[in-house]
Structures are given as C-alpha cells and as structure tokens.
Amino acid sequence: MLIALSRAFLLSRPPGADYPMRSLSELTKLKKEELAEVWGRSEEIVKACFARRPNYNDLIPVLLQIGVCDELPLRCGLALHIPLRPMLGSITRDLSEMLTKLQGRDFACEFKYDGQRGQIHCDDQGKVSIFSRHLELMTDKYPDLVKLVPQIRGEGVSSFIMEGEIVAVDQESGELKNFQALTNRARKDVDIGSIKVEVCFFSFDLMYLNGQPLLDRSFRERRELLRSLFVEIPHRFTWVKSLDATSGDSEAVLDFFRQATDIKCEGIMVKILDNLPAVPYVGDDKQTDDAVDVPPNPQTKQKGKGKGKGKGKGQVGGDGEEKKKTRRKPLLATYEPDKRLDSWLKVKKDYNSSFDTLDLIPVAAWHGQGRKAKWWSPILLACRNDDTGQLEVVSKCISGFTDAFYKANKEHYDDGGESGEPKNTRTQKPSFIAYPGPLPDVWFEPQEVWEMAFADITLSPTYTAAIGLVSDERGLSLRFPRFLKKREDKGIEEASTNEFLAGLWRKQEAKAATATAATDTKDDADGLDEDNEE
C-alpha cells in the first residue's frame, strides 16, 4: 500500500494541487538504476512518514496537499496517542562479534528483560495511552501503569512518549518474574483492585517531550532527558540497568552479561550512544529497513539469468541493482522507527555462534503420506525480502513435529476438505510468495513465525530465497531443517530476512575456508618436516 501510494503521488496529483510530478515519458528514458533511485527515494519518504505516524487517515490528506516530498515527515510526524513503530535491534551471535562491530564507539549495554515492550503516551491534559510493540492498544490491560504516570512525571514535563519493558515483579523483593507470569494478567477491562500480577516499567528511551520529537537526538541525549526529568519509584518505575563501555572493556561487558542472565534476563541490548558518522563501520551487515508492507508487492521478478536479475534492491517491480551507496549507511545513535539496524545489537543467552536458527513463515504444504495422510507434511517455509515485500521460500520441512502439533496445525490451516469451511488457507498461490517449485496442495495465509534449526545452508537451483545476494542464478536453502517452536512473541514482520539468511551463508563459507586453510597449513608443515628428515 505504501509503495503504491508513493508512486501514485509521484505520477499524479489531484485538482488544485501544485506539487511537482514525474512524467511517464521522462521515466521510461531512465536506466534501471536511475529509475530504481527515483522509486526508492519516494518510497523511503512515505515509509519513513508512516513508521512515525502509522495512520492512513492522517497521511493521505497531507499527501493530497503536498505530494511526496521532504516536507511530508514534518507535516505528518509523531503524534500523541498514535503509536510509532518501534526501532529494532540486530542479532549478534556472541559478545566478541558485537565488540568487533562497535570498535571506536561508546555504547551502552542494557539488561534485556523478559517482559513485554511497551510505549507510553501522555498528553498535557494527563490522558495516557499504552501500546504494545505491535501497536496494539493495551491501556485497559495496565491501569496500574496509567495510575503511575502522574507520579513519575517530573516538574516541567507536560507531554511525552516513552518506551520501556513491562516486567512482572515481586513488589516486596523486587525479584523479576518471567514473561509467562505476565501472560496471566487479563488482557482488557482489568480492575486495578483485583490485580495479582504486579508489574514494573523499566524505561529505556524517550522519543517525544513537551510537544517536540526527539528521534533525531542521539541516544545519550534522549537517555539523559529520560533520567533527569522523570521520577523513579522502586519496583514500579525505573530505568533499565545499564553499563556504558567501549570495545576495550570486554571483561566488564562480559561480567555485565553474566549479571543479566543470572537474574533471569534474556541477555543484553547494546546501543550506540553518540552520532559519529566519520567512524568506519566494521560490521559486514547492510543497514536495512525492517518493514514489510501487507499485502506484499507481487511485481518483482525473482528469476532470471541476466546481469542484476533477481536482486531488486531499492525498487519494487523491477530487477535492477541499486547503487551500493544507498544501501550502506553510517551507524548513528538516532531513533529509527521500524528499522532493524546495527546501531542496536542484541545478545541473548541462548545465542551461540555454533548453533544458528532462523525464524521462518509457513506458507504452504502437501498432504502427508501413510499415517500422516490427514495432516500437512511437508510444509514450505519462507523468509522475508525487505526490498520487495515478498516472502521467499527457503525449504520444506518434515522434521521436529509431534503428532499433536500435526493435528493442531491441520485444524489451524484447514482447506475445508472435511469441514467444508476453509480457514487460514488459499487455493491459489499468492502473488507475493516467490516459489517456482512444484505446486503444493494448499497455500497458507502467512500469519505465524516458526523457529527452525538446520545443519547448514546450501545453494539451490529450486529455491529463490536470497537470489542475487550470494549468486545471480541460485537461491539459498536449508539442509536438514528441523522445527523447534512457534515464536508466539513475533509477528511475520519480524521473521528472518533474505539478507540475514545470506549473512549466515557467508559466515558458514568463511568458517569452512578458515578450516580448510588450517588443514592446508598443517599439511604443509607435515610436508616440511618430511623434507627436513630427508
């Protein structure tokens, strides 16, 4: 929808509007790279605006007046009681990788609490709204937090948007409880007098203050305002526990990580404190948006052998390459809604460099054989392509499922064969799914994320996931995929991307090359010893 809007307002305007347009005849003369830049720029503006204010009723009237221009995010920016999309952290597999990526920078390590991410809005009239990370209104779920807001608002604070983690806490001891305890609270119409699961709000960011957006301020500035203008209340409202460090403080960071895991935290978040665009970025991950527009765009071609085919970077509906300079961005300490950047890194206790997993979306299946004939098996799984909005099929899986899971899965994805009432399925292949292989018996409505383990990642002539990122003619697939669990905490917009899949493949190949080099070195040494003996 956002891509369509960006192009519509670039190519046309309503009566009475005078904003500049681009003509089709002019655009048809451009090279693919130039056209991709034109589309990409307008898409970036519209998506950035919607990430800050995800409300079409606010966006469309402004577009009708001024079209797609740099003024759009200013005219339709942050607004109280409309949740902005949260900034997301990139996964890093261990502390050493994190320290390498952030060389030359000051950063903050924060406890990653096992709770529910929350966004609190408060206007100058005292009205409070609380939203989840998925932008769901949950004010009624936390009347105790609503009652708390007047007590934490310091002198001179009239309005704000604050972000933090809502964690179940023992009010007497301050002991943290796990996320499961939090799920025992009712979801709506909660009576404040009947609350049994008490919570604490661990704040970590301030995005709006007294009518002014703070997104372009550095994290150090935003954090200073948060901690100086709000009042801490033990076991009810406080700041996330943090440690400021540099890449040279490896022992202190390791000790902080151990402290986090010792008190039942998931791990730590690591955030750049200051804007230092001149400091070179050591990491190899490309900085990308983490938005998936629903429904995904069906136009991009994924197959082809010509130069640049299948890459589709920076554009939708074409196969040209985008100039690399638009894909590599400096690591800044600003708040970037709806983006997953290496400015924020998360290191969780269950991450291990020798055991990678992917969060994939089930998109289709076949009827099983033998005793599995009434169930779906195998099941096709896909990753996201952030550039095109498509879901790219990675592999089919038959391993890791229990009979109980098969039964529940068949009830959830019902083709209507027995019940007569289809549910969460389609009969035709959705245009936004990239899969050129044999047609399955049923297509699923994409709506779940499953965590998958695997032996390794291979180049595939069948699957087109990440095609163009590691090979122009082959995609990537999984060898021996195995289902681990449903990710109840993740929506499909948070599933693994083709960029992440390609990154894992590169690391796998680098490790293999290192191992081969080590073997060759040993063989050379053995040969030298034999020569010396002779």
Burial 255-270 (b: 16+ CB within 10 A, else e): ebbeebbeeebbbbbb
So what's the pLDDT on residue 399?
Answer: 86
Please write the tens of the pLDDT for every residue from 66-123: 999 999 999 999 999 999 999 999 888 678 888 888 888 999 999 999 999 999 999 9
- DSSP letter at 493 equals G
Instruction: Count the alpha carbons within 13 Å of 446 in the hemisphere toward its beta carbon.
Output: 30
- 3-state secondary structure (DSSP) of residue 472: coil
Cα dist. 262→265, 267, 321 in Å?
7, 9, 47
Q: d(Cα 315, Cα 337) in Å, to the nearest integer?
A: 20
Cα dist. 272→38, 176, 276, 288, 328 in Å?
31, 26, 9, 17, 17
Residue bearing tokens 């406080």: 238
Please write the tens of the pLDDT for every residue from 217-276: 999 999 999 999 999 999 999 999 999 999 888 889 999 999 998 888 889 999 999 988
E runs forming strands in 250-402: 267-272, 288-289, 339-348, 357-367, 376-384, 391-397
Cα angle value 322/324/325 (rounded, 5°): 115
So what's the pLDDT on residue 465?
Answer: 94
Q: d(Cα 171, Cα 173) in Å, to the nearest integer?
A: 6
Catalytic site residues? 112
Q: d(Cα 75, Cα 54) in Å, to the nearest integer?
A: 14
Q: d(Cα 431, Cα 435) in Å, to the nearest integer?
A: 10
0.75 exceeded by the pTM? Answer: no
CA 508: distance to chain centroid?
Answer: 22
Cis peptide before 295 (omega within 30 of 0): yes
Q: What residue spans of 232-364 are helical by DSSP H?
A: 250-262
Q: Which residues pair with 162 in a beta bridge?
A: 120, 206
So what's the pLDDT on residue 302?
Answer: 40
So what's the pLDDT on residue 350?
Answer: 63
Instruction: Count the alpha carbons within 13 Å of 377 in the hemisphere toward its beta carbon.
Output: 21
The ranges of the chain with pLDDT < 50 are 285-328, 352-354, 526, 528-534
- Rounded to 5, what percent of the chain is helix, strand, coil? 30, 25, 45
Q: Copy the structure tokens of residue 434.
A: 């990239």
So what's the pLDDT on residue 298?
Answer: 35
